[in-house]
Amino acid sequence: MSRTRIKFCGLRRKQDLECAVALGVDAVGFVMVPASKRCLSLNQAAKLRERVPAFVNVVTLLMDAPARDVRAVIKAVQPDLLQFHGNETAEFCASFGLPYIKAVAMSGPVDLARFARRYRGSRGLLLDSHAPGQMGGSGTAFDWTVATPTSMPLILAGGLNAQNVGKGIAQVRPYAVDVSSGIELQPGVKDVQRMRAFVDAVARADRAWQRKNDG
């Protein structure tokens, strides 16, 4: 059965990280953008990283950071993936020797096929509801009808929660979903019940898709 991967982003507390791991998420995201309320220092991120077990990917979110800052994050945190959320060029994203994913601002019409060709070295395109040059984590979803299929894995983000993620999965059929504000009490403070409900909702959506295909 095809399974939608799950990333919890904006983690700041060890108890939230431990809950995410216990729930079986595939990836955890550390925000390294000073303008974000969820931002971690290098030391904070490194300490959280030490608590992440094998087979759970650590993703560091960066936005228009200078190359020296990206290298500092890589050295301190040792992420499995870099997530670039700004106006970084494909050449810049590929210059650090690590796999990366590129966020796409879906606030208006976007030619995803063209974007995929431009960032052909990316391991996936993260579709978020932010406007170009702005952060995600707003809690607002975008119009999923504009998320057209591409040859590159799509990661659905932007305003997801336990109540709407099933519809998003059914409509977009993403490789993965990425949630932050939809599992929070406040920025950077996750809620156990919301985290569990989100994981359960993704599993239900996957089962429903499988039944539809089997039928």
Residue 186: count other Cβ atoms within 10 Å of its Cβ. 9
Helix (H) or strand (E) run with residue 208 in it: helix 192-214
HSE (side-chain half, CA atoms, 13 Å) at 89: 5
Instruction: Please confirm, yes or no, whether 128 is among the known catalytic residues.
Output: yes
**Which one is catalytic: 9, 19, 39, 93?**
9
Length of the chain: 215
Q: What angle do CA 113, 116, 119 make, to 5 degrees?
A: 155
Catalytic residue among 16, 19, 39, 128: 128
Q: Quick one: tokens of 166?
A: 């099933």
Mind spelling out the 3-state secondary structure of 88-136?
CCHHHHHHHCCCEEEEEECCCCCCHHHHHHHCCCCCCEEEECCCCCCCC
> Taking a C-beta distance cutoff of 8 angstroms, is the pair 121, 94 a contact?
yes
Q: From residue 3, how far is each of 18, 166, 179, 196 by CA, in Å?
A: 22, 13, 16, 17
* Catalytic (active site) residue 93: no
Question: Do the beta carbons of residue 12 and residue 189 sit within 8 Å?
Answer: yes
- Catalytically active residues are 9, 128
